[in-house]
Structure 1
Amino acid sequence: MTESTTLRVIRISALYDLVITAGFALPWTAVLVFGGLAQAHEALGLTGITPSPDDVFTVMFANLMGSIVVVWAVFRILRPTIAAGVADTTARLLFSVGMATALLNGATALTGVLLALELAWAVVQGGAVLAHRRRATASV
């Protein structure tokens, strides 16, 4: 895979992250996102629990995660690098462990959708980075 194609995958991955996590970056938007998740959860008749907008620690940790991911996403959009793709793929796998643990411990089944998307992006981006590295190594 060419470097420009790999960097495009990294940038698109970052755009996805920005869209998905921007709502978690601020307290008032996180509360709205939690409300939307609860509504979707109930409308679909799912089992499990959703995040509580009344729990100050839940909102605070959502804000920490959201703000860091937003900044990291903007960085990768503006300056995508192979190293950033490797780091982000690693972070996706770590996030996936957390999501899987939450899912196994009673989180809403909507978490499974987010987990599937996170793993899909880890495979797509990780595959692009590995293909690029193989091509770069083969041409040496």
Structure 2
Amino acid sequence: MIRLSTPSHPGYLRVVRASAWYDLVVTAGFATPWTYALLHRALSSLGGALGLGVLPAPDPVLTLYANLMGSVVVVWALLRIVRPLSVYGLADGVARTLFAMWQAYALAHGAFRVLWLLLVAEVAFGVVQLVPWWRSRHTHKVAPLR
């Protein structure tokens, strides 16, 4: 097991890059209207086959928001793949915390249950990227700002 003692540890930067690859693979299909249409059909088929429900029918606004999210996450993922920095891990951990909260909210309100799989990944990557920052802050005396 990799010990992620500090955000500057080389293992931590590997986690930052791994989370970026995960994001790229999972969200690339959302980035364009054409790939989203294919992904929507595939996810609905998978959810139906597993008894986890299907996605709502796509409409222009749903497609727009899916494309916006996909485009931003793809760019963010490419940045972390090309140049993984520890501060990107911190930012990504915070973003994953927010995203996990909104996924949990959606699930609590009857969203597509395949989302549970994505929620688990969000929480896992969020914890692995935030814990070293928390530990670093609590093991090193930080001078108060004046």
Give the alignment's TM-score, normalised by structure 2.
0.84
Query: Which of residues 120, 137, 140 is equivalent to 2:140?
Result: 137
Displacement of 1:31 in angstroms is 1.0
Alpha-carbon distance in structure 2 between the residues aligned to 1:51 and 1:82: 38
- State the 1:52 CA deviation: 2.3
Task: Report the count of equivalent residues.
Answer: 135
- Displaced runs of 4+ in structure 1, greater than 2 A? 127-131, 133-138
Q: Does 1:107 align with 2:107?
A: no
Query: Which residue is equivalent to 2:40?
Result: 34
Q: Cα RMSD (Å) of the superposition?
A: 1.9
Which ranges in structure 2 are unaligned for 5 or more consecutive residues? 142-146
1: CA distance, partners of 2:78 / 2:96: 16
C-alpha distance in 2 between matches for 1:51 and 1:95: 20
Aligned partner of 2:62 in structure 1 is 58
Structure 2 counterpart of 1:74: 78
Which residue does the alignment assign to 1:20?
26
Q: For residues 81 and 69 of structure 1, do their structure 2 counterparts lie closer, same or farther at Cα, with a shift above 3 Å needed?
A: same
Cα distance in 1 for partners of 2:56, 2:63 equals: 8
Are the structure 2 counterparts of residues 29 and 81 from structure 1 closer, same or farther at C-alpha, using a change threshold of 3 Å?
Answer: same
Identical columns (%)? 47
Q: What TM-score comes out, normalization by structure 1 length?
A: 0.87
Match of 1:7 in 2: 13
